[in-house]
Amino acid sequence: MYCQHCGAEIGPGDKFCQNCGAPAAARQAAELSSALRAAQEFSPGAAAVPAEDLPDTPSLTRDFAVTRERFNLILGGTLLWGFLMNILFCVFLGRAAARLPYGVVTIAYVVLAFTGILINTRSQKPLWSFVGYNLVVLPLGLVLSALIADAGADAVRETFQITAAVTAGMLLLSNRKPELFSRMGPCLLGALLLALAAELVSFLFSRSFEAVNVVVALIFCGYIGFDWARAQQRPCTADNAIDSACALYLDIINLALRILASRSRRRD
């Protein structure tokens, strides 16, 4: 793997470029993606409208009420769309993305994703919320395609297996103990902010703290259960389903990025 800043080779397990000190791409992507999830918590949302006050006629330009089953179907379909876009990016754009200038990728990643979060959280129209969701998904897909191209097949396969197993386990646990996860929000956010502060310190001093990476992965395990429990408590509207899918997408992708950053050290 090569540094996207200066082009020097980065050895297996290195968190920083030995030539220019820039963080490795996997580390940089994981930290930026975690910051996106924290920013989502602070993004001001639009005033909620009770589901019973909304029409039940499907429309992309206005919110509408749905049954709980359809709510989860929209949520799941939106999640699948995001992961499908990521897969397509990785298949067709992996090597090309790895050759893009480091600064261009980072700036596009930050600007588009933060704009997407703002649109997704502020809008009460399903179409605009879905546009915001895609502005989060597509730049992350571009970064993922570059990382996966360098990580190696074994690391990618292990990351997929672990992420899928952990996500399924947390969703099942959240269904059984929703009251437990519903109370975890402030604790998870506080822990995430502390972890991001620790990573900022490690970046400033060009140090690597693998324990922080593990802690952040555990935080996002909790966030998967928390956001699923919170989604099941929200009014059943199409817009809320898309908003919930965006939060869960960031949780799952963050978990995968953290696992990939660790597992890629074992590549040949």
**Residue 239 in contact with residue 126, Cβ under 8 Å?**
yes
**Residue 141 in contact with residue 78, Cβ under 8 Å?**
no
- Residue 237 backbone phi and psi in degrees, to 5: -130, 160
Integer Rg of the chain from CA: 19
pTM, to two decimals:
0.82
Q: What's the confidence (pLDDT) of residue 4? A: 44
Domain ranges for the chain, please list them.
25-46+62-266
**In the predicted model, what is the mean pLDDT of residues 216-241?**
91
Q: What's the confidence (pLDDT) of residue 252? A: 92
Q: What's the confidence (pLDDT) of residue 100? A: 67
**In the predicted model, what is the mean pLDDT of residues 158-175?**
88
**Residue 61 in contact with residue 244, Cβ under 8 Å?**
no
Q: Rounded to an integer, what distance in angstroms lies between the CA atom of residue 144 and that of residue 92?
A: 12
Q: What region does 47 belong to: left with phi over 0, alpha with psi -120 to 50, or beta?
A: beta
With a cut of 60, say whether residue 65 has pLDDT above it: yes
Q: Supply 58's token pair.
A: 């499907």
**In the predicted model, what is the mean pLDDT of residues 89-108?**
70
Q: Supply 125's token pair.
A: 């129209």
With a cut of 90, say whether residue 75 has pLDDT above it: yes
- Which candidate, 192, 193, 43, 21, places its Cα nearest to that of 123? 43
